[in-house]
Amino acid sequence: MIFMGTPDFAVPTLNALVEAGHELVLVVAQPDRPSGRGKKLKAPAVAVRATELGLPLAQPRALRKGPFPERYVGLQADVGVVIAYGRILPERLLDSPAHSCVNVHASLLPRWRGAAPIQHAILAGDTVTGVCTQRMEPSLDTGPVYVREQTPIGERETSGELHDRLAQMSARVAVRTLEILGTSEPEPQPEEGITWAPKIAKADGEIDFAQPARQLDLRIRAMTPWPGGWTTWRDGPLKLKVAVPVEGSGAPGTVLSADPLVVACGEGALHLVTVQAPGRRPVDGADFARGLRLQPGDPL
């Protein structure tokens, strides 16, 4: 088996495959990237774990040329397992393993095809999500599905919390998929219900208080931990770490209460439970308002 993954989301699946007794002839992760203020190279989580387990590791920069494709094909693997690798695989690599490549995807396909299914599920107000395994095709997340497992999304759950739960679920689903591989045919995805989950950018966390409080609550939870919900404030972004929709009305963006800190939205209001000013640590919203001497009617 060849395993392909990069971030911490993929590590539980790597661990589970090893614990289940599968022979991994190669682990593939993206190259080390500059990180932090010093921009020192940092290995991705899968590369770190593969090294700890003593597994053969490759971190190719090119998938279509150079030595890597030849090495990959030459291994004559029975299957490739791909989870959050982060790059499109050439058709030659998809077709090389005897049972093709199986992708573990954090949504109930065909809903939320693409790079950021966890964030988009919360942002859309979905109450249920899950994990699917699909036989990979050259087009993005269109392959037939082997196994699907669903789970409710908690009423106050953030993307970070859901990420961690789905990572563990992905490990179980991947192992179960390999148990049926070769004896069970995957089912084509439905033609209806297709939605797309493009990559998240920092700008996706910006909060517009003219929108309904319910929508802003979804956005803040969807963008937590990154990029986080934020609003323009003085010389930088004010991060809205924890916020809860409450009753209230007023001009959007104005303070309705300082303790607790409640701000009016286009519909309803947001109780800003925890906020973080630029260069400061997170604080209780009421403490933040007290430090600025905010009063009802003041613009945030």
Q: Select from 55, 88, 96, 80 the least CA-distant residue to 181.
A: 80
Q: Select from 272, 269, 270 the least CA-distant residue to 287.
A: 272
Q: What pLDDT is recorded for position 81?
A: 98
Distance between CA 166 and CA 153 in Å, rounded? 11
Domain ranges of the chain: 2-180, 202-292
Distance between CA 300 and CA 294 in Å, rounded? 8
Q: What pLDDT is recorded for position 207?
A: 97
Please state at what angle helix 45-53 crosses helix 11-19, rounded to 10 degrees: 20
Q: What pLDDT is recorded for position 237?
A: 94
Distance between CA 114 and CA 49 in Å, rounded? 25
**259 near 195, Cβ under 8 Å?**
no
Distance between CA 114 and CA 174 in Å, rounded? 19
Do 2-180 and 202-292 show the same overall fold?
no
Mean pLDDT of the chain: 97
- Is 123 exposed, middle or buried (CB count within 10 Å of its CB: 0-12, 13-18, 19+)? buried
pLDDT tier at 39, thresholds 50, 70, 90: confident
pLDDT surpassing 90 at residue 235: no
What pLDDT, in 10s, does the model give residues 120-146?
Answer: 999 999 999 999 999 999 999 999 999
Q: How far apart are the first and last CA of the chain?
A: 55
Q: What pLDDT is recorded for position 37?
A: 80
Q: What pLDDT is recorded for position 130?
A: 98
What pLDDT, in 10s, does the model give residues 65-112?
Answer: 999 999 999 999 999 999 999 999 999 999 999 999 999 999 999 999
Q: What pLDDT is recorded for position 236?
A: 87
Q: Is the Cα torsion angle 232, 237, 238, 242 positive or negative in sign? A: positive
CATH architecture of 202-292: Roll (3.10)
Distance between CA 274 and CA 285 in Å, rounded? 5
What pLDDT, in 10s, does the model give residues 159-215?
Answer: 999 999 999 999 999 999 999 998 999 999 999 999 999 999 999 999 999 999 999
Q: What pLDDT is recorded for position 175?
A: 98
CATH class of 2-180: alpha beta
CA distance readout (Å), 248 to 175, 220, 231, 255, 291: 49, 19, 19, 10, 23
H or E element that contains 202: none
